[in-house]
Structure 1
Amino acid sequence: MGYAVVLGEALVDLLDTECDGEPVYRQAVGGGPLNVAVCVARLGGAVQFVGSLGDDALAGRIRDFLAGAGVGLAGAVTVAAPTALAVATFAGPEPDFRFYGEPPSYGLLGPDDLDADLVAGADVLYCGSIVLLQPSVLAAARRAWALAGGLRVLDPNVRPRLLDGPAALAGLREIVAEFAAGAHLVKLSAADAKLLYPGEPEEGVAAYLRELGAGTVVVTLGAAGAVVAAAGADPVRVPAPKVEAVDATGAGDSVMGALVADLLTDGEPAAPAGWHERVAFALRVAALVCESPGGATAMPTRAEVLARFAR
């Protein structure tokens, strides 16, 4: 089995909570791509994280966490910046993230920082999330996309707080279209779809991204499951298991992580039904993540998923 490269951000989440009746922030290693990388490793896949990390104690904790999870750091670079923070508050089912750190430690990877051999040799390359809003990392992602010799997967992972008005949203929409055109798999959430393509049903968004050139598109719908649009078939809704959700942090990332892990093991499915089965498994992974607090720390092993949802 080969390996995956996950190019994106790693940062520290500060999660709004309480201790002894007082409001406090719980520190957690985070970042959508970091969650994806950890999920791949927990499910038995070999994975390398590529991104820029700060030069402080928090960055050391990120490195230690990734190494402990079995994620390789050969493509990670250290930059002269404090680790960026994402402060998460919970007023509804989805956390509201506000980002702190200028320049952001995750936004300082440049195209010349890439290990070209590492990227070109990967069986799966993941790009996406908020690093695509940083010109330097966007250039690095474009170079990685061109170098990729294996499967290319994209997750926009849109954070509205980082979009400064309609022009920024239009720019991101163009970036998503650019990467989707060369992607074997695009995964996005219903919230991403609503922001990028307002008024379009999820099936329509999936069909549109396939028309741009994406091989398969998965739109996650939270507790309602996911829409799957694969070549040769109309979009299909795949249901999610019913669970009592404790914390949905990282659930969408775990769907992508599970799909990447299966791409590493078996490549692309030969027929749409194969994608439907894989998404069904990925939704079981996400359901298990939702049953535990934390994002990256909640990523399960394959054996845990099979035990929890034994057929």
Structure 2
Amino acid sequence: MTGYGVVIGEALIDLLESTASGELVYRPAVGGAPFNVAVGIARLGAPVHFLGSFGDDPFGARLLDFLDKAGVGTEGVVTVPGVATTLAVTTFQGHEPTFRFYGAPPSYGLFDAPDVDEGLVAGARLLYCGSMCLLAPPVLAAARRAWAVPGPVRVFDPNVRPIVGINPDVVAEFAATADLVKLSSADATALWGDSPEAAAARLLALGAKAVVVTLGAQGALVAQGSSSVLVPAPRIAPVDATGAGDATMAGISWGILAHGRPADLGAWATLVRVAVHVAGLVCESPGGAVSMPTVADLRARFVDLAV
């Protein structure tokens, strides 16, 4: 049943805090939440295309090369002359990353509505958008244009970054017509001061057909209609939580591409169970996109997982 997915959003370079010979160093790694999602979908075995803007420097070339080698389609991307790739300096409190972003204009924020290939979107089984790129007016216009194309299952992830600003109105706009909204418990707090349950109810009332709220080591809350269920996370040995939410979104998106949109809460829960295992496996390795697993990796690590 697998069709292809389209992911709209940011690609950037994470500078990951680490140590070498007792000295603090920052290691460059490919990143950006939508970038991670696209790579995750491809690694799991579904066709996917990335739409976004890139700098014309060596980091931009590295990002595009990584997508190409991962099997992600890049015919819809835009490389902007004279623009340096945005950097995200990533520090850690335990296993949890925090980010500060550098680069003006942001290299990811220059993809505009005329850049959207509507034919590519119309032919897709799934369309993903979200994250901080929607704070850039050109990308917001591009996402609105793609979102209006009929056909794909629409999945939305606010992926709030309080350090760069929050726009609850944009979240409400996309949630109103989303087939699925995925957010974290931290997103729920930052956006509305809500509990996961209250955030899910709010999004469903806005029009979202299903909601998944990730809860870190506790798993994920899945809600549809007036019902909800908690899907527990697997027991893991965490190293780095960078990209965990993106891995969950990749797992959900891959499941929709492979099996279609779930018809009821139980089917959503089954799909999300696989997705939280994808996230768990990513947390056992450093980095985000570079840690996205294959289905074979999942089966090897979680032998009782039906996938």
Q: TM-score range by the shorter chain?
A: over 0.9
Secondary structure in 2 aligned to 1:71? Answer: coil
Matched, 1:204 2:205: no
On the 8 A contact 1:207/1:235 being kept in 2, the answer is no
TM-score norm. by structure 1 comes to: 0.95
On the 8 A contact 2:185/2:195 being kept in 1, the answer is no
Q: Equivalent of 2:145, from 111, 132, 143?
A: 143
1:131 maps to amino acid = C
Partner of residue 166, structure 1: none
1:236-272: per-residue Cα shift (whole Å, max 9, x none)? Answer: 1111011110011111101000110111111111221
On the 8 A contact 1:121/1:148 being kept in 2, the answer is no
Partner of residue 296, structure 1: 289
CA distance, structure 1, for counterparts of residue 34 and residue 278 of structure 2: 16
1:18-76: per-residue Cα shift (whole Å, max 9, x none)? Answer: 11111111010000000000100011110000000111111010011010111110111
Q: CA deviation at 1:93?
A: 3.9
Structure 1 residue ranges (4+ consecutive) displaced by more than 3 angstroms after TM superposition: none
2:291 maps to amino acid = A
Q: Judging changes above 3 Å, is the alpha-carbon distance between structure 1 residues 130 and 79 closer, same or farther for their aligned structure 2 residues?
A: same
1:101 maps to amino acid = G
Q: CA deviation at 1:149?
A: 1.6
Q: CA deviation at 1:92?
A: 4.0
Matched, 1:255 2:255: no
2:74 maps to amino acid = L
CA distance, structure 2, for counterparts of residue 74 and residue 214 of structure 1: 30
| Structure 1 unaligned residues grouped into runs of 5+ | 164-168
Partner of residue 160, structure 1: 162
1:54 maps to amino acid = G
CA distance, structure 2, for counterparts of residue 93 and residue 248 of structure 1: 6
Q: Equivalent of 2:228, from 226, 235, 259?
A: 235
Q: CA deviation at 1:148?
A: 4.1
| Structure 2 unaligned residues grouped into runs of 5+ | none
CA distance, structure 1, for counterparts of residue 263 and residue 149 of structure 2: 25
Partner of residue 175, structure 1: 170
Q: Judging changes above 3 Å, is the alpha-carbon distance between structure 1 residues 244 and 77 closer, same or farther for their aligned structure 2 residues?
A: same
CA distance, structure 1, for counterparts of residue 280 and residue 93 of structure 2: 21
CA RMSD of aligned residues (A): 1.0
Q: Judging changes above 3 Å, is the alpha-carbon distance between structure 1 residues 84 and 148 closer, same or farther for their aligned structure 2 residues?
A: farther
CA distance, structure 2, for counterparts of residue 310 and residue 197 of structure 1: 39
2:190 maps to amino acid = L
2:293 maps to amino acid = P
On the 8 A contact 2:34/2:131 being kept in 1, the answer is yes
CA distance, structure 2, for counterparts of residue 270 and residue 125 of structure 1: 18
Count of matched residue positions in the alignment of Structure 1 and Structure 2: 302
CA distance, structure 2, for counterparts of residue 146 and residue 43 of structure 1: 27
Matched, 1:213 2:207: yes
CA distance, structure 2, for counterparts of residue 201 and residue 52 of structure 1: 35
CA distance, structure 2, for counterparts of residue 214 and residue 74 of structure 1: 30
Matched, 1:65 2:95: no
CA distance, structure 1, for counterparts of residue 212 and residue 264 of structure 2: 15
CA distance, structure 2, for counterparts of residue 187 and residue 138 of structure 1: 18
| Residue pairs, 1:91-170, within 5 angstroms | 91-163=93-165, 169=166
2:24 maps to amino acid = P
CA distance, structure 1, for counterparts of residue 264 and residue 227 of structure 2: 12
Q: CA deviation at 1:234?
A: 1.2
2:53 maps to amino acid = S
1:268-299: per-residue Cα shift (whole Å, max 9, x none)? Answer: 11221111111111111111111111110100
2:261 maps to amino acid = E
1:210 maps to amino acid = L
CA distance, structure 2, for counterparts of residue 10 and residue 25 of structure 1: 18
1:223 maps to amino acid = A
On the 8 A contact 1:122/1:148 being kept in 2, the answer is no
Partner of residue 279, structure 1: 272
On the 8 A contact 2:95/2:239 being kept in 1, the answer is no
Partner of residue 16, structure 1: 17
